[in-house]
Amino acid sequence: MFSSRRRRRQRTTTGLGLAALSAVTIAALLAAAPASAADEPATPEGRGIALPNGYESLGDLPSVQAEKPLNDALDALHALYAEKYLAGGAGAATARADGEPSLDERIVAARAEVERVAGRPYSEIEPEPDFSADASTTSDSGASVMAAATQKALPVRHSTQRTSYYCGPASVAMAIRASCSACERSRYNSSDTISQTTLASSRYLATTTSGTNMSRIPLTLNRWAGFASRLVSSPSAASIKSGVVNSIGVYNRAVVYGTRELAGAGNPHYNYHYTTFTIDHLIMGYGYSGSGDRLAYADPVAGRWTNTGQSKAPQKTNAMRNTSMRIFTQPWGVVL
């Protein structure tokens, strides 16, 4: 998990999961040997996400603020991509009767805006999508790239976090494996193989007992597997939906959600987590259904927390609506 500030530790808890079963089926689910929770404090602590000293929210970071115009432009483009995918491409090139630009023309304009804001070609920002109905090409990760479907699930190899603050390394490990079957070794350092300890090192996530800084996740995914990903802070339900459909449905790339659950049974909680403490936690998104209305995720705290006082223990995989995910990710964001 992750914690936003050290002074909050005594009233926060580690990362949890979700409460509704997913409509998306899992292609593969291999359980890692669960870590012992003997080192957990008697009062669990939510210390999965960290911020540099002096910052109250992810959106306050200068790097996040500097990237916001490009993220906004990409969100607008991905929303058009989703419209084209989910419409099956029908009539995409046809001008509308009211004289407004066709969907294809709006996509061209949106891509031009992305290039203008970024100051570099689109090909240097993210891979080229393939909209053909029978698309089956190979991405730079070696994974098959398919036109987005109304539901999709990447294979999941569940990883239980080894410590109370390792939800970041565990979620990133699951994201890499779900996205690339040939990425057990790092492109950055070929002697590095996937493990939570390696991913937590200063070469990658730089995780400490305070948790993981989410801005390190895109860097780690790029160093390890060459993925082009981005951190979106305070996402809307619509941007989560289009971003997930784009990342998972088109590029076969898992996503990472940064979540917060406020203490109190009256506040929203997910995956049978504790309700008595505020929890900052990272989870891996591997699928969606209902054209992105429902989002499937893998929770690294499953196997570590066995009794949270709920009707069940946290589940390895679960799902929630994108409107619920928007609530949980507001303080932190999502890596797409």
pLDDT computed for residue 170 by the predictor: 97
Other C-beta atoms lying within 10 Å of the C-beta of residue 264: 12
How far is Cα 152 from Cα 286, in angstroms, rounded to an integer? 8
Unique residue bearing structure tokens 């993210």: 126
Sites in the chain below the pLDDT cut of 50: 3-44, 89-90, 132-146
120 phi/psi in degrees, rounded to 5: -155, 165
Other CB atoms within a 10 A radius of the CB of residue 30 amount to 10
Question: Residue 21's beta-bridge partner residues?
Answer: none
Residue 135 confidence (pLDDT): 36
- Please give the Cα distance from 42 to 65 (Å, whole number): 38
pTM greater than 0.75? no
Backbone angles phi, psi at 196, to 5 degrees: -65, -35
The reported pLDDT for the residue numbered 239 is: 92
Based on C-alpha coordinates, what's the Rg of the chain? 19
Q: Can you list the domains of the chain with their CATH numbers?
A: 6-62+151-335 (3.90.70)
**What pLDDT score does 122 carry?**
84
| CA-based nearest residue to 284, from 314, 253, 312, 242 | 253
DSSP 8-class letter at 180 = -
**DSSP string across 264-296:** STTS---TT--SSSEEEEEEEEEEEEGGGTEEE
Residue type (1 letter), 183:
C
pLDDT over 90, % of the chain: 53
